[in-house]
Structure 1
Amino acid sequence: MTRLNEQEFSNQLIKDFTERNFIKAKIIEIADQYYIAKSDLQSFYDEVLQSSLINEINKEEFINNSLSFIQKSVSNQHQFGYAKTSLRKIIEKQYDFIFSNGFPTNLLNINTGVMTANAGDSAQFLFLARAILAGYNCSNVDVRSSRYDAVVDFNNILLRLQIKGVSSSNAISFKDRDRGGQGIDHTHITNKGKRITSADCDIYVAVDKEIGICYLIPMNYVDSLEEHEITSINLNTLKQYKENWNIIAQVAETRRI
């Protein structure tokens, strides 16, 4: 257990940040004062401060206001009346995730580097769970050196999927990271990240690790991009692939002989 898990110390950290009016630029001061990694402290504040807001919100009022907004926005009130009960249930289910910033993460405050690696694995299994729930026959690939992370069997056609987790940056890259670390020359051509192409996988899946939304991107689209277009791609520009599970069938159709 780290110091961040100790209630007295946590309260002191919140007190110090409150006195600085919750200005993000001041986090480094507190981190240095207590010899904490800035990234770890910011993650702590992100979770604790957002989750504590739930204590000041009336849940029933929030749900009713949300339903009222939807009702005022739709043209057919009979249609709204039909869907109202289902809407209420899903809003109520999602309520807690708003204040936890999606799925709870790193509750044990483990090392940031370790958590980053674990989060990558979690994105992979998040997709697999969702694909299975959606009815697809799929499986994880355990060989870490493989260029794809999972396979989907669609009508006896095996598709290779590379799966990447997406954080709050909401950006993806169709290029591997450069190799780095102690003793590694990241500028050398052999350590440069390789472009991801249809030779590596059939579908690139970006998984939002906060709420599990999946973007299923066919590699024929990725192959069509110019070299300067394959990095720092905002997912807002790929809305046609957001939760588009039909991509699996479409790509499988192109693989038929």
Structure 2
Amino acid sequence: VEVTINGIGERAGNTSLEEVAMIIKCHKDIEIETNINTQKIYPTSRMVSSLMNMPVQPNKAIVGRNAFAHSSGIHQDGVLKNVQTYEIIDPHDVGIDDNSIVLTARSGRAALKNRLSVLGVQLDQEKLDKVYEEFLKLADKKKDINDDDILVLAGANRTQNHRIKLEYLQVTSGVGVRSVASLGLNISGEKFEAAASGNGPVDAAIKALKKIIDRHMTLKEFTIQAISKGSDDMGKVHMQVEYDNHIYYGFGANTDIIAASVEAYIDCINKFKE
């Protein structure tokens, strides 16, 4: 059998090495063996793809990134209970660390609980239900949820009892126009609204916030964590705010980086000593 990696070779295409090798490996009854180290299949495919600048299609059998991915809730539940439910091939046999449970809006609580457990986070049923609700909201905004997003959701759930909460935020910005922001806060059950313009959307939003919370606060540090995936990834913002000669640290996370900035500022204020 003439085979190739990633279809490189004759113009009409050659037979796929990984498919032939794994057919032989999985069907012991045909009594044929090869000297192929199948655990090198996936890394070799990735190396060829990188060297030739030719991406492997996601749905390619065995070496495609979705070959062992499960996003359907019922698929995820089945794989978690018994991997052979939907997988005839063990991912380890082709050099992949594990099957990939892709968390999307279709994922169920079982998949979320499993991912949290893998990340070292244990939640009781009540807290898991609350995190799952936030997870579904985030899944509506972005296609795939990564581990950082899950940890942020689990952490954000533990700070839900903050006295000050962001109710809504609307920002207008662009080139050649002055940024304007309007926001609403819920402070101990009472609602407040304000609007302001500023030198950029974040500046406008924070100025509107300061109109409601009238204290002498100074922003000392403002850090946006680098986005490593796509443009719909969750932005993470770290802030330091000085108030009454004390430095307070805040954190915010949102697919909207402006909203994440305001949430980080509010997180600082919620920690102020009265």
TM range (shorter): 0.3 to 0.5
Higher strand share: 2
What TM-score does the superposition give when structure 1 sets the normalisation length? 0.32
CA radius of gyration, larger in: 2
The normalised TM-score by structure 2 is 0.31
Relative contact order, higher structure (CA 8 A, sep 6+): 1
Considering fraction of residues, name the structure with more helix.
Answer: 1
